[in-house]
Amino acid sequence: MAQRPSWYCWRRTSCVPGVGRFGLVALHDLPEIAFNNMTLLLDRYFVHRLPGADYEGKDGNPLNEVRIVCDSLMNNNGIMRGDKQIKLTPERSVLKLNVGDPIKLTEEDFERLSAAFFVELKRRFR
């Protein structure tokens, strides 16, 4: 087997792309994968937060944004998709992603999104 540069490592891929496969990934790609996966974890811990106008709302709030980002990571190959029922616009969103943008979250992106998520969660579900 050929010698790999030191900035490569083996990892088990998850979510985007290739669930359950092993692959060779450059170390500089790991933060993006890690913060995308942390967003999935954030959503899964609060998955029973009841979507809809009377609970989570459909006004493009951070709870909606996390839901759409996670759906895009799991079901749209990491490309931001729209949702006809949720009024999420890039201008009002935390991440400022447009439909069709690749989702590659940084540490700063995740910090802003998770902080906004918890503020909205507390506001709606006291």
Which pLDDT tens digit goes with each residue over 9-31? Answer: 444 344 444 434 445 555 556 67
Q: Are 37 and 78 in contact (CB under 8 A)?
A: no
Distances (CA, A) of 96 to 7, 22, 67, 91, 106: 30, 31, 15, 6, 13
How many secondary structure helices (H) and strands (E) does the chain include? 3, 2
Instruction: Read off the pTM.
Output: 0.74
**Count of beta carbons in the 10 Å neighbourhood of residue 25:** 15
Stretch 72-97: mean pLDDT, rounded? 94
| Closest to 62 (Cα-Cα) out of 107, 17, 5, 114 | 114
Confidence of residue 76 (pLDDT cuts 50, 70, 90): very high
Q: Are 68 and 40 in contact (CB under 8 A)?
A: no
Confidence of residue 82 (pLDDT cuts 50, 70, 90): very high
Q: Let me know if residue 34 belongs to a domain.
A: yes
Q: Let me know if residue 1 belongs to a domain.
A: no
Q: How many structural domains are present in the chain?
A: 1
Q: Are 66 and 86 in contact (CB under 8 A)?
A: no
| Closest to 82 (Cα-Cα) out of 74, 95, 71 | 71
Q: Let me know if residue 5 belongs to a domain.
A: no
Q: Let me know if residue 52 belongs to a domain.
A: yes
Range of the domain at 119: 30-124
Q: Let me know if residue 18 belongs to a domain.
A: no
Q: Let me know if residue 21 belongs to a domain.
A: no
Q: Let me know if residue 2 belongs to a domain.
A: no
Q: Let me know if residue 65 belongs to a domain.
A: yes
